[in-house]
Amino acid sequence: MADASNPTPRYPTPPFPDQKQPWPGLASKMEPRPDHGETSYRGSGRLAGKRALITGGDSGIGRAAAIAFAREGADVVINHLPEEEPDAREVIDLITAEGRKGVSIPGDLRDEAFCRRLVSEAAGALGGLDILVNNAARQQTRPSIADISAEDFDATFKTNVYAPFWLSKAALEIMGEGAVIVNTASEQAGDPSEDIMDYAMTRAAVLNFTKGLATQLAPRGIRVNAVAPGPFWTPLQVSGGATPEKLRNFGASSPFGRPGQPAEIAGLYVAAADPTLSYSTGQIFAATGGNRQPA
């Protein structure tokens, strides 16, 4: 009988069914449906009393982080696009089921004014802000640089780079000593795939941003860390982030032979924000399934 703790056979392996969703996609319509830790994550009070804002918290890695944060004792505001409302409602129900406050604020992070309003509304709803998780991302596959339009490039950078900058800037007007910013990067920052080049560029920028901001904010007692996922099974992939061929065999090239499930990375977001790890700032917490880690 296989050991239940063996990660290799724990989750579905490719090939996966052919599927495609319009951007930004819904986890509830994916096959197989991702595991965000809905039934498996067990908390131990590591974030008790903390107040967190998580972008892209409706599905994928952001959803897993939101569930974990609530079960670790945090109140959570999630941001998502209006089209993702069905997934967002499920997350809020999971947060409130833990006896924590859960708030959903829809909106487009490509708008600087909205980013500032999001931080203000999140802090107002929670009575302050201790943790900001910059997780929302845009990824669209393009066969060559000639196929990346100026509009595409702009949308990807505004979502993945400008928004974390705007949100962090606004949050730092509110945050006090002991606060934490957690950014989502990617293995793509150091090992880019040729068909998501613009996305990979943004992930390298996020790593640089994390390290520079961590140094700048250390004297204020505010930490900044990043989590760098490898291939994870999320709506990012089925809504244009991967070609049908790549999606069919998604994660097969990892040493585990499968993609990661969001539940398998949630603990790293908790660790990145955990106040007991107070000497960890400017750190990159990677979960690449054995693939190369970003620098």
Q: Out of 11, 41, 162, 199, which one is annotated catalytic?
A: 199
CA–CA separation, 63 and 83 (whole Å): 15
A 10 A CB-CB count for 15 gives 10
199 carries an active-site annotation: yes
Q: Are 178 and 167 in contact (CB under 8 A)?
A: no
In Å, the largest CA–CA distance within the chain is 56
Question: DSSP letters of 104-149?
Answer: EEE--TT-HHHHHHHHHHHHHHHTS-SEEEE--------SSGGG--
- Cα separation, 277 vs 131, in Å, equals 14
Cβ 231 vs Cβ 247: under 8 Å: no
Which residues are tagged catalytic?
Answer: 199
